Structure 1
Amino acid sequence: MSGWSCLVTGAGGFLGQRIVQMLVKKEAVKEVRALFRTFSLKHEEELSKLQTKAKVTVLKGDILDTQCLRRACQGISVVIHTAATIDIFGAASRQTILDVNLKGTQNLLDACVEASVPTFIYSSSVAVAGPNSYKEIVLNGREEEHHESTWPDPYPYSKKMAEKAVLAANGSLLKNGGTLHTCAIRLPFIYGEECQVILTVVNTALKNNSKIKKYASFSIANPVYVGNAAWAHILAARGLRDPKKSASIQGQFYYITDDTPHQSYDDLNYTLSKEWGLCFDSSWSLPLPLQYWLALLLETVSFLLRPVYNYRPPFNRFLVTMQNSVFTFSYKKAQRDLGYEPLVSWEEAKQKTSQWIGTLVKQHGETLNKKSQ
């Protein structure tokens, strides 16, 4: 099991960074190749801190560049594919999302076959399972229940089709005569330090007299801490490389959650930030059915204007549904097949994330002080 090498795509992302760090610190890897689309000074500093025997190679390239992917995969034992355009607001064009999430994944699978990479782990999303309606209730859902998203929106559709491609590629013949083994990790909302969604929520609240706007009060979700999400990928890599475990993991997908309490997204934001004086905005908000029908109206306006003007609504039906559904999953299958147990407890995850939010609040206060001087 020792002396293997791993390529991590999306290595500059929230999840990808943690996977790179964890591979270096916890695994007997000889090399980690970190594929970045944009590589900053901050990333360079973080990677230089990884004092270890493992070699960390930075590759700057795009998931749509087939030549780059072939070079990146040469001599690699495992590919962990986290690169994706995560867009539930409709900010990016449909074609961009499909290109990166679907075409990019297929490009990487093809590169693995060409370079004879035997192990491929895909970072998927619970969005491939739904929810299809805010009236639908899924509590502690399991893999064998076959939940599937019916949304045509580019993000859930592209992640669903990419996951299908990855699982269908399991058993493919490699160029050297070996066999490709694949699995997918389905993740819910990932939180923790540097989470861009929480960053936006906190910064918006700080500009609004420390009041958090409610947007997801009707949801019951089980978010996962970023360290636990990364850990599941490490265990999947171990499992697929282990001849004793591999057969039960190949071609499978796994829901990964942790012991974060089931709660609404609004309550999660409040719980993580209340120590720093943030509280809910008590202003009136639209009832859920009205939000949904308003979203439909805005989508219709956007569709009708498309020939002459690219109008992007502030929200859509998929977003309203996702943020206001009872939609939680169990990690029992991952526990059984991968030996997955959350590495970080809820209390520790809450403390780490809250401390990071505290730095944001202090930075905001310092900025205001400078402006007033």
Structure 2
Amino acid sequence: MAGPAEAQKLVYLVTGGCGFLGEHVVRMLLQQEPQLCELRVFDLHLSPWLEELKTGTQNVIEACVQSGTRYLVYTSSMEALGPNAKGHPFYRGNEDTPYEVVHKHPYPCSKALAEKLVLEANGRKVCGGLPLVTCALRPTGIYGEGHQIMRDFYHQGLRLGGRLFRAIPASVEHGRVYVGNVAWMHVLAARELRQQAALLGGQVYFCYDQSPYLSYEDFNMEFLGPCGVRLVGTHPLLPYWVLLILAVFNALLQWLLRPLLLYAPLLNPYTLAMANTTFTVSTNKAQRHFGYKPLFSWEESRTRTIHWVQAMESASVAHPSRS
């Protein structure tokens, strides 16, 4: 997300503005940015592979330089840091907590490289001679209205008679953040980047709220449970090695089918390792630097997400062939 320097006439460009987070950022700007003069939305469905994402980020930086756009807020991810490929836990860490970054999967590799490009571009001269000011936001696992993975889990539960089977130990914790609060942090960061360039420029911020630390499955049940889906088992019903075999099989099948069709299984070696590794953040850096506080409480975030799932439930009843 980028915006020019004039404080009284702000023009925002939201790249990926038609995606899950992008749509929420667009709505948040329309609702919460009183100095907004013009809002431009750009979206292009690119392949998620490493070089294309890296090139896309470099193109955004070059566009800022050539057009004289001085402020760039990059949507990174906690996955730019971890969980790493070695499965090291990250427990209530912050931006300064030491952690070995070891990635093999294209998505975290691309996020880490793109984030590096954005932060290194801070201070680069743009058209007109003034410096580019950049920062990066690292959301933890995002949830909320429009979340495709939660939609997939819900429909899977319906197909299994209202049941999902536990695959991850309940002791594994993850930090999750409501999409509305992620969008709100973007608006605040873009606003304060203009006012406090020396403080925010070149910085990275974890993006989270007061959502509880739970395993992915237990967290999802906070929303799916009230909608008639129950989680079966207090312990994983299948041992890890069986899940790993299935994950590797899915990855192989995805590779074989890639020339013919897009096959994106929920379970693959990367998602299995990530789900089985504790990764939680606890930091107030964003609050200290630009006054971030969640706009939506956990109770409101939960209620909004439940209502969205219930709307899917109503649509499934009205159109059973779509489930």
Report how far residue 359 of structure 1 moved: 1.2
Partner of 1:260: 211
Any conservation in 1 of the 2:88–2:277 contact (CA below 8 Å)?
yes
Q: Quick check: 1:188 aligned with 2:140?
A: yes
Report how far residue 238 of structure 1 moved: 1.2
Equivalent residue for 1:198, pick from 108, 133, 150: 150
Q: C-alpha deviations, 1:35-85, integer Å up to 9, x for none? A: 133xxxxxxxxxxxxxxxxxxxxxxxx7xxxxxxxxxxxxxxxxxxxxxx6
Q: Which amino acid aligns with 1:260?
A: S
Equivalent residue for 2:80, pick from 118, 128, 135: 128
Distance of 2:310 and 2:250 partners within structure 1 = 37
Equivalent residue for 2:124, pick from 164, 168, 172: 172
Q: Which amino acid aligns with 1:336?
A: R
> Residues 264, 114 of structure 1: CA spacing in aligned structure 2 closer, same or farther, 3 A cutoff?
same
Any conservation in 2 of the 1:118–1:178 contact (CA below 8 Å)?
yes
Partner of 1:275: 226
Q: Which amino acid aligns with 1:246?
A: A
Report how far residue 291 of structure 1 moved: 3.1
Equivalent residue for 1:345, pick from 297, 306, 309: 297
Any conservation in 2 of the 1:305–1:311 contact (CA below 8 Å)?
no
Distance of 1:192 and 1:123 partners within structure 2 = 17
Alignment map for 1:52-67 (pairs within 5 Å): none
Report how far residue 2 of structure 1 moved: 2.8
Partner of 2:38: 31
Any conservation in 1 of the 2:142–2:178 contact (CA below 8 Å)?
yes
Distance of 1:339 and 1:227 partners within structure 2 = 16
Q: For structure 1, which segment, 140-149 or 348-357, has the greater mean C-alpha deviation from structure 2 after superposition?
A: 140-149
Distance of 2:41 and 2:249 partners within structure 1 = 43
**For structure 2, which runs of at least 5 residues remain unmatched after alignment?**
1-6
Report how far residue 216 of structure 1 moved: 3.6
Any conservation in 2 of the 1:256–1:331 contact (CA below 8 Å)?
no
**What secondary structure does 1:182 align onto?**
strand
Q: Name the count of aligned residue pairs.
A: 311
Equivalent residue for 2:14, pick from 4, 8, 13: 8
Report how far residue 18 of structure 1 moved: 1.1
CA RMSD of aligned residues (A): 2.8
Distance of 2:9 and 2:176 partners within structure 1 = 34
Distance of 1:296 and 1:328 partners within structure 2 = 26
Partner of 2:273: 321
Partner of 2:3: none
Report how far residue 145 of structure 1 moved: 1.9
Distance of 2:94 and 2:151 partners within structure 1 = 31
Distance of 1:364 and 1:326 partners within structure 2 = 34
**What secondary structure does 2:13 align onto?**
strand
> Residues 154, 135 of structure 1: CA spacing in aligned structure 2 closer, same or farther, 3 A cutoff?
closer
Report how far residue 175 of structure 1 moved: 1.9
Q: C-alpha deviations, 1:294-343, integer Å up to 9, x for none? A: 646776x679989x999979543321111111100123111111211111
Partner of 1:209: 161
Distance of 1:150 and 1:323 partners within structure 2 = 16
Distance of 1:337 and 1:363 partners within structure 2 = 43
> Residues 201, 305 of structure 1: CA spacing in aligned structure 2 closer, same or farther, 3 A cutoff?
closer
Per the normalisation by structure 2, the TM-score is 0.87
Q: Quick check: 1:224 aligned with 2:153?
A: no
Distance of 1:100 and 1:277 partners within structure 2 = 41
Report how far residue 124 of structure 1 moved: 0.3
> Residues 167, 199 of structure 1: CA spacing in aligned structure 2 closer, same or farther, 3 A cutoff?
same
Distance of 1:133 and 1:175 partners within structure 2 = 41
Distance of 1:310 and 1:22 partners within structure 2 = 35
Distance of 2:188 and 2:236 partners within structure 1 = 45
Distance of 1:313 and 1:149 partners within structure 2 = 25
Q: Quick check: 1:249 aligned with 2:200?
A: yes
Distance of 1:350 and 1:134 partners within structure 2 = 32
**For structure 1, which runs of at least 5 residues remain unmatched after alignment?**
38-61, 63-84, 86-91
Q: For structure 1, which segment, 11-20 or 140-149, has the greater mean C-alpha deviation from structure 2 after superposition?
A: 140-149
Q: Which amino acid aligns with 2:192?
A: G
Q: Quick check: 1:235 aligned with 2:188?
A: yes
